[in-house]
Structure formats: structure tokens, C-alpha cells
Amino acid sequence: MNISVLVPCYNESEKIFELVQLIHYLKRALGKDGIHLDFLLVDNGCTDDTFHRFESLQSTHATCCSSQILHISENIGYGFGVKTALLQSVGKNVCILPADGKYELLDIVHLIRLYFTTFNDGQLLKGLRSKRNDPKLIQVLSFFYSKLVNLLTGVRVKDINGLPKIFHNGFTSHEIGLMSDTACLDATLLYLWRRKGGNFKEYALEFTQDTEGKTSWSGKRTVTALKMFRELVLSSRSIRIDL
């Protein structure tokens, strides 16, 4: 049993040691079940020393040596990094993981095990952030964003951006190209999955706050949120036309 684990990274230097630990732990824990993980780390146009530090740590962590690094010269967006990795992945099964360590390791292990023991190729298994420790305003916006996505696309899931997302990679290159280059990637991916006749199963996970401290709201974040809502509407229309 093989699975390609896609990890988009953007300026994660301060958390790279935790990512190395995650790779080591998941490979050991799931290897005992005969599940082989191929990690594909996406350098999503990092401007810090994230991958310099990762490559330095590889020499002392043998389980990370086989991890592939995919470099993107410019930060176009979260979605672009995931799409690029999807096109490069060789595993028939795919898991999209965050690089920031906001999910419990045991939860990730449980979901990957569950996928291989109870799911089929037409099902997408994803995390549901039911225990959230991030700022309340972020939670409220996330709630209404998921409601809007459900309304526009009919995907019927509670937490659009919840990770991990584990699925059979049956997307064509054309379908991957239709996915969003930005944070709307999750919405467009789920919409395309539904259009292909797939269904979803969400499992409750604990979601922790940034280790760097309390997240503050700002005008820049407001503009970003408004752009996401606008792009979501345009993307859903574009996919309907191009499919």
C-alpha cells in the first residue's frame, strides 16, 4: 500500500524541525501496517531558509532522506503548489498535509489507516476541525466560507479547508488545471471530486493555534478574504463551462 503525501511549504523555517519529526513518526507508525509513504515537499516560493534547514536535518534523520523536494521559484499561491505536486505525484493514493504542525500526529495516523482499511476509490476522506483553538473571527469566517462553498458547489461538507485530505488521484491534468491557484484550491478540488461522482467522509480532529502566538486580524486579511469569496464564485462558473 502506497500513498503520496503532499506538503506545501511557505516560509516554515521556524517549524521545519517539527515537520521532520512528523515525517519520521508517520513513516515508522504506518510502515508497521505495510503502508509506504512517499513525501513530496513543495517549496512554494519560500523567501526564508526553510529548505536549507530541511536539507541540513536530512543528514541526521534517515527517514527523511527519500523525501522529494519540488522547488517553485515564485509564490503564486497555496493552490498552485498543491496542483504542481499533484501533477508530479506517482502514488495512486494522495494525502494533502499542512506543514505548520496544527494537527495531532495520532489523528493523521488514524485517518490514513482508516482510508486503507475502509474506503474505496470513490471516497475522499478529510479532516473536520471540530476542536479549534485558532481566533474566533477566523472560525466565524471559515464557517460562512464553507456555507458559501456548499451553496455554490453542492459538495455538502462542514469544513471545506479541513486537512488532511486523502483520496485516489484520478484527476486528469485538465481537471487539475481547473483547480484554483490560491486558498480556494480546497473548494475547487472538492467540487471537481463531486462532479466526478465521488463522495466525502469527514472525521473530527483537533486543530491547534499557531505556535508563534495569537493571530491578529488586519486590513490585509480582510482584503484576502474578500478576494477568496470573489474567486470562489468565478472558479465555480469556470469549472461548469470547461468540464
CATH number for position 221: 3.90.550.10
- Each residue's pLDDT tens digit, 200-241: 999 999 887 654 434 444 455 556 666 677 777 777 777 766
DSSP state of 210: P
- Each residue's pLDDT tens digit, 39-70: 999 999 999 999 999 988 887 777 777 789 99
Higher pLDDT, 4 or 225: 4
Phi and psi at residue 176, in whole multiples of 5°?
Answer: -65, -40
What is the overall mean pLDDT for the chain? 87
Q: How far apart are CA 145 and CA 142, in angstroms?
A: 5
Q: How confident is the model at residue 96 (pLDDT cuts 50, 70, 90)?
A: very high
Domain count of the fold of the chain: 1
Contacts of 92 (CB under 8 A, 6+ apart): 2, 168, 169
Q: Which domain holds residue 236?
A: 2-242
Chain centroid to CA 216: 23
Opening angle at CA 171, ends 148 and 28, nearest 5: 95
Q: For residue 113, what pLDDT is reported?
A: 96
Higher pLDDT, 209 or 141: 141
Q: For residue 209, what pLDDT is reported?
A: 60
Q: For residue 211, what pLDDT is reported?
A: 45
182, 77 contact by CB (below 8 A): yes
Q: For residue 223, what pLDDT is reported?
A: 61
- Given a cut of 70, whether residue 159 has pLDDT beyond it is yes
Q: What percent of the chain has pLDDT over 70?
A: 88
Q: How confident is the model at residue 186 (pLDDT cuts 50, 70, 90)?
A: very high
Q: For residue 135, what pLDDT is reported?
A: 84
215: left (phi over 0), alpha (psi -120 to 50) or beta: beta
